[in-house]
Amino acid sequence: MIWNPEYEQMDGTELAELQLMRLQSTVAWVNERVPHYREQLEAAGVRPKDVRTLEDVERLPFTDKAVLRDTYPFGLFAVDMDHVVRIHSSSGTTGKPIVVGYTRGDLNTWAELTARVAAAAGVTEKDRAQMAFGYGMFTGGFGMHYGLERIGATVIPASAGNTERHLMMMEDFGTTALVSTPSYALYMAEVAERAGADVKALPLQVGLFGGEPCGEGMRQEIEERLGIFATDNYGLSEVGGPGVSGECECRCGLHMNEDHYLFEVIDPESGEPVGVGEQGELVITTLTKEAFPVLRYRTRDLTSIDTSPCECGRTFARMEKVRQRTDDMLIIRGVNVFPSQIEDVLLEIEGVQPHYLILVERKHRALDDLEIQIEVAEGIFAATMADMVAFSDQVSDRLFSVLGLRAKVTLVEPGAIERTAGKSQRVVDRRC
Ligand code: DLL
């Protein structure tokens, strides 16, 4: 179902007009209310009235994470705290987090956007949606919650963690939609299998997964083990949280909510726009945010944009699934490696489970060691030592042929790699 056809099926010219109008008001709004943006605009020699076309967005200054940190906690807020009805913060693991604020109007828009994402995944008022994102400073829980409620789905606000309880609720309440990170969904399948429960026999039908990358191999695994249709949705706290984009049932990219955000893809090195359809860093400008508008936020997420028509009838362009970030590239012995490349190789090998850990160390000066710990099926783990060595050699050879880099492959027992209820941590870089 298309939640809001008036916007989601908007004609391109009308959309561009709306975007321009909203961009102009956003620039005027931040110029008037946020000292940081006023200084930046002045330094770039741009006055709000200079924004005459959508292309003029390229004249505006970029905003990056450092600015958001430096202005902690409320330095970039564009309204008085009296008008801020909610704050959230990013899931950063080190230092101060990034704090974002919402007015009542922002919360209303946010629910609209997550309702679109959930509806695009196939959720309706008939669904019982079980929330496995945390309700807290993370934007995932509350963000998706209000969109699902707006659709009229029955929301089960179970929150993150306590997997056994999740499974019990799933069975007792007849849950039809699961909202979580893809890695947590996989973990749920595992816990159920261990307990001898048949999740596939449950009414669960659809998964709304987001918050972290989910490659096709991982998606397939989740679908097979949970017996569901898995969709991907994307967002980030800095521009509001979930609701930025989401897959429709065609699953050929994530429809971007272009009436509320302006998207650009740039070359991360030069900052210049890349060609249509080419991959680069996603840059987002909020078009309707009141409390926390952001100009040209550099997401560090790598994607490309597809403007070709989609069979679902939505006219919003689609972004390719995010698999990599500019800052998750590892340089090992001079070779550039993305964790997603390693995952793709691993998941193609029969017997390898979708749980792995990438460890990078520097034991000898300037010589990095790459170790990949992988969980393997029981049968392989219980095999003879010679068979296990042959298996890890085979994995190492496959990795070498794709990465051009020799990795030490360590087979570990099923369940040995730590699971989380949130975003999985797959890389441990001990060089830093
Ligand atoms: O993860 C917001 C969110 C919550 C989106 C729930 C979807 C569902 P942050 O914690 O600020 O916000 O993390 C944002 O997570 O820049 C991406 O690198 C990554 N990310 C989020 N969704 C996806 C996705 C939320 N579907 C950062 N695929 C982003 C790949 C994703 N990466």
State the distance from the centre of ligand 1 to the C-alpha of 139, rounded, in angstroms.
9
Residue 234 bridge partners (DSSP): 245
Going by pLDDT thresholds of 50, 70 and 90, the confidence category of residue 90 is confident
Q: For 342-392, write each residue's pLDDT tens digit.
A: 999 999 999 999 999 999 999 877 789 999 999 998 888 888 999 999 999
Q: For 160-214, write each residue's pLDDT tens digit.
A: 999 999 999 999 999 999 999 999 999 999 999 999 999 999 999 999 999 999 9
Residue 139 CB–ligand 1 contact under 6 Å: yes
Predicted local distance difference test score (pLDDT) of residue 364: 76
Q: For 40-81, write each residue's pLDDT tens digit.
A: 999 999 999 999 999 999 999 999 999 999 999 999 999 999
Q: How crowded is the C-beta side of 174, counted as CA atoms within 13 Å?
A: 4
Whole-angstrom distance, CA of residue 135 vs CA of residue 112? 19
Predicted local distance difference test score (pLDDT) of residue 91: 62
Tokens of 76: 């970039």
Ligand 1 atom, smallest distance to 90 CA: 11
All domains of the chain, ordered by start, with CATH? 1-327 (3.40.50.12780), 330-429 (3.30.300.30)
Going by pLDDT thresholds of 50, 70 and 90, the confidence category of residue 238 is very high
Rg over CA atoms, the chain? 22
Whole-angstrom distance, CA of residue 170 vs CA of residue 177? 9
Q: For 242-293, write each residue's pLDDT tens digit.
A: 999 999 999 999 999 999 999 999 999 999 999 999 999 999 999 999 999 9
Residue 182 CB–ligand 1 contact under 6 Å: no
Q: For 313-346, write each residue's pLDDT tens digit.
A: 999 999 999 999 999 999 998 899 999 999 999 9
Residue 207 CB–ligand 1 contact under 6 Å: no
State the distance from the centre of ligand 1 to the C-alpha of 404, rounded, in angstroms.
30
Residue 163 CB–ligand 1 contact under 6 Å: no
Does residue 93 surpass a pLDDT of 70?
no
Does residue 94 surpass a pLDDT of 80?
no
Nearest alpha carbon, ligand 1 atom 14: 236
Residue 114 CB–ligand 1 contact under 6 Å: no
Q: How far is CA 251 from CA 30, 178, 194, 289, 412, in A?
A: 36, 17, 31, 28, 34
**Residue 6 near residue 274, CB atoms below 8 Å:** no
Predicted local distance difference test score (pLDDT) of residue 92: 62
State the distance from the centre of ligand 1 to the C-alpha of 336, rounded, in angstroms.
23
State the distance from the centre of ligand 1 to the C-alpha of 381, rounded, in angstroms.
34
φ/ψ (deg, to 5) at 387: -65, -40
Predicted local distance difference test score (pLDDT) of residue 378: 87
**Residue 233 near residue 251, CB atoms below 8 Å:** no
Q: What's the 3-state SS for the chain?
A: CCCCHHHHCCCHHHHHHHHHHHHHHHHHHHHHHCHHHHHHHHHHCCCHHHCCCHHHHHHCCCECHHHHHHCCCCCCCCCCHHHCCEEEECCCCCCCCCEEEECHHHHHHHHHHHHHHHHHCCCCCCCEEEECCCCCCCHHHHHHHHHHHHHCCEEECCCCCCHHHHHHHHHHHCCCEEEECHHHHHHHHHHHHHCCCCHHHCCCCEEEEECCCCCHHHHHHHHHHHCCEEEEEEEEHHHCEEEEEEECCCCCCEEECCCCEEEEEECCCCCCECCCCCCEEEEEEECCCCCCCCCCEEEEEEECEECCCCCCCCCCCEECCCCEECCCCEEECCEEECHHHHHHHHHCCCCEEEEEEEEEEEEECCEEEEEEEEEECHHHHCCCHHHHHHHHHHHHHHHHHHHCCCCEEEEECCCCCCCCCCCCCCEEECCC
Whole-angstrom distance, CA of residue 420 vs CA of residue 424? 6
Bridging pattern class, strands 318-319 and 254-256: antiparallel
Sequence-separated (6 or more) residues with CB below 8 Å from residue 310: 248, 250, 252, 253, 255, 318
Tokens of 11: 């004609």
Residue 235 bridge partners (DSSP): 242
Predicted local distance difference test score (pLDDT) of residue 381: 85
State the distance from the centre of ligand 1 to the C-alpha of 196, rounded, in angstroms.
32
Predicted local distance difference test score (pLDDT) of residue 344: 95
Residue 242 CB–ligand 1 contact under 6 Å: yes
Whole-angstrom distance, CA of residue 335 vs CA of residue 403? 8
**How many Cβ atoms sit within 10 Å of the Cβ of residue 416?**
14
Whole-angstrom distance, CA of residue 54 vs CA of residue 24? 9
Sequence-separated (6 or more) residues with CB below 8 Å from residue 379: 351
Sequence-separated (6 or more) residues with CB below 8 Å from residue 426: 339, 343, 356, 357, 358
Does residue 305 surpass a pLDDT of 90?
yes
**How many Cβ atoms sit within 10 Å of the Cβ of residue 54?**
14
Does residue 25 surpass a pLDDT of 70?
yes
**Tokens 């990599």 -> residue:** 324
Residue 177 bridge partners (DSSP): 129, 206
Does residue 27 surpass a pLDDT of 70?
yes
Mean pLDDT of 122-133: 98
- CA pseudo-torsion sign 122, 123, 129, 133: positive
Predicted local distance difference test score (pLDDT) of residue 402: 94
Predicted local distance difference test score (pLDDT) of residue 96: 84
Tell which wins on pLDDT, 16 or 366: 16
Nearest alpha carbon, ligand 1 atom 9: 236
